[in-house]
Amino acid sequence: MDYFNVAILGCGTVGSGVAKILIDMPEELAVRAGKKIQLVKIVDLYPKKAAANYQIPMQLFCGGGKDLLRDEATRCIDEIIADPNIHLVVETIGGTSDYLYGIMHRILSAGKHLVTANKAMLAEKGGELFRLARQKNVLLGYEASVCGAIPIIKTIRESFTGDKILEISGILNGTSNYILSKMQHEGLDFPTALKNAQEAGYAEADPTLDINGGDAAHKLTILIRLAFGANIDYFSLYKEGIDQISREDIDFANEMDCSIKLICYARQMDGKIFAAVKPMMVKNDNFLSKVNGATNCVEVKNLYSGKHYFVGKGAGSLETASSVVSDIVFAAKYQGMAISMPDLKDFELVEAGSIVLPYNITFTTEDRPGITGLVTTAIGAQNINIDTVSHNRHNKDKAYFSVVTMPCTLNQVKQAIDQIKQKAPGLLLEEPKIIPILY
């Protein structure tokens, strides 16, 4: 049986998990791949710390197990790229630096397969890497880049080739979902729920990408490219996080039989892509509303086969590593027949203001008579039908109430708010909060 040799760059949370699986399952993986998959080299700046995660043999580390300077690590990487006996490289260093991009480009240029969990790199700079993989007839594997252990990439790429994907929506960031679940079910405010997530290990010390929608947008960008063949720019994708969600928003959602979730939404129609990452009020009879904690869920709506839900852990050492290893086995078995990403075509990315959805608009106003009538009149003047108006809540000299619209565009809602400001300057004590509703 032939050998298929693998090197790992970066042996942190995910990389060490990959090493463990490769070491623990050689016979099973050989049967599945038709080749003996061997881990032959690991590059990490701090081998002793990396090895301690899963008792990885020190002799596998470049430098014999001593800590490496960056220049030393670079020389080790150069040796791996130049070695014709190494067939595949796993990149779990992370980040979008030009230094790392250059390494990934050189790996593919050398005719080696590359497997990565680096969603940020693929979303922001992946176009040329995928093009190069096609040119060199090698696999650029990225199953682990979206939703960890959930096999959503292979499902879209292989299982749905006999169908047409119309729409993708879902919860693609476990940290934000954990925080919102704590706010809804335990009555926590946002700062307390965030601190709770950090203490539980679900949020980083700097949680910015998780709570501002950036991480979820990286994943949605990749799914849009794969599902629709659309050449979408990550930086043009509308993204809004959960850091402005308040207890009042949670309470209004409860009144409407909804749960607030950070939703990734994309729909392809007539050569256009409607897409956004945004907190939404999800109706409680929608399956996505039942997904709590750090769990991820992707909903795919197809033309012929209808709706499909994919639920599981979106992160974790061994969970994500299992997806990396599945790509390694795929590359070993199929070699040049492995297709990473289809050729992409240019689609118009419709700005978020034109997406038609129902909206919940929460107003904070002066506490005086006639305000509800003024607000609803302005909304109606923009040809927006109103579904419901909540009871007023009072806090000293402030009033809080929400208006639920029938499907309309965000631009219509904003025009109504501008009209209110013009007719009654100073009436709105805060900028109204606009949250779409997902049925």
**Which tokens belong to 232?**
């979408």
Distance CA 220, CA 116 (A): 17
In sequence order, the β-bridge partners of residue 301 are 167, 307
Q: Would you list the DSSP string of 242-257? A: STT--HHHHHHHHHTT
Distance CA 53, CA 316 (A): 13
The pLDDT of residue 96 is: 97
The pLDDT of residue 280 is: 97
The pLDDT of residue 339 is: 65
**Comparing C-alpha atoms, which of 281, 287, 283, 289 is closest to residue 301?**
287
CATH classification code of 153-313? 3.30.360.10
**Among the options 219, 261, 313, 433, which is catalytic?**
219
Domain spanning 3-149+318-337: CATH 3.40.50.300: no
Strand order of the β-sheet with 36-43 is 36-43, 3-9, 88-91, 113-116, 140-141
CATH classification code of 353-438? 3.30.70.260
Whether 219 sits among the annotated catalytic residues: the reply is yes
Series of mean pLDDT values for 10-residue runs along the chain (439 residues)? 95 96 97 97 96 94 93 97 98 97 98 97 96 93 94 94 95 96 96 94 91 97 95 94 93 93 93 94 95 96 96 91 96 79 86 90 89 94 94 82 95 96 92 94
The pLDDT of residue 367 is: 84
Domain boundaries, the chain: 3-149+318-337, 153-313, 353-438
Q: Fill in the DSSP letter of residue 367.
A: S
Question: HSE of 184 in the Cβ direction (CA atoms, 13 Å)?
Answer: 24
Give how far the C-alpha of residue 161 lies from the chain's centroid of Cα atoms, to the nearest Å.
Answer: 22
pTM: 0.93
